[in-house]
Amino acid sequence: MRLSTEYKNSIIRNFKIYFKINTQLFLYGSRTDVNKKGGDIDLLIITDSVNDKSIALDMKLDFIIKIKQEIGEQKIDCIILSKNELASNAFYQVIKDETILLCQTLTTKSILD
């Protein structure tokens, strides 16, 4: 993975702020290959449900802006998919084997809920 510790920490910290429930963050694209140079930062966020995806889409721009404020101007692409879209999404089928999990947020329901 070609992502500095500073960049990785900023991305993960902000992911945890903006996407708190049952969501996964992956890096994909040229930054996953140590033999390549340059390239934008390609992020994939996978949500549990279509409803969670809708909420995540509303937060996407703020998430990217906050990262850029911390690490400086970088081209950041961010795709958001729900788990039930993965099997039928052609783009995901192409990139899925090269993704690197950066973070996931999990919640569990209390038995009292």
Report the chain's terminal Cα–Cα distance, integer Å: 40
Is there a domain that residue 9 lies in? yes
pLDDT tens-place string over residues 53-82 = 999 999 999 999 999 999 999 999 999 999
Q: What is the CATH number of the domain that holds 81?
A: 3.30.460.10
How large a percentage of the chain has pLDDT more than 90?
Answer: 75
Is there a domain that residue 33 lies in? yes
Q: Could you list the residue range(s) of the whole structural domain that residue 53 is in?
A: 5-105
Distance CA 6, CA 13 (A): 11
Is there a domain that residue 31 lies in? yes
Q: According to the model, what pLDDT value does residue 110 have?
A: 43
Burial of 93 (0-12, 13-18, 19+ CB in 10 A): exposed
Number of domains in the chain: 1
Is there a domain that residue 110 lies in? no
Is there a domain that residue 89 lies in? yes
pLDDT above 70 (res 100): yes
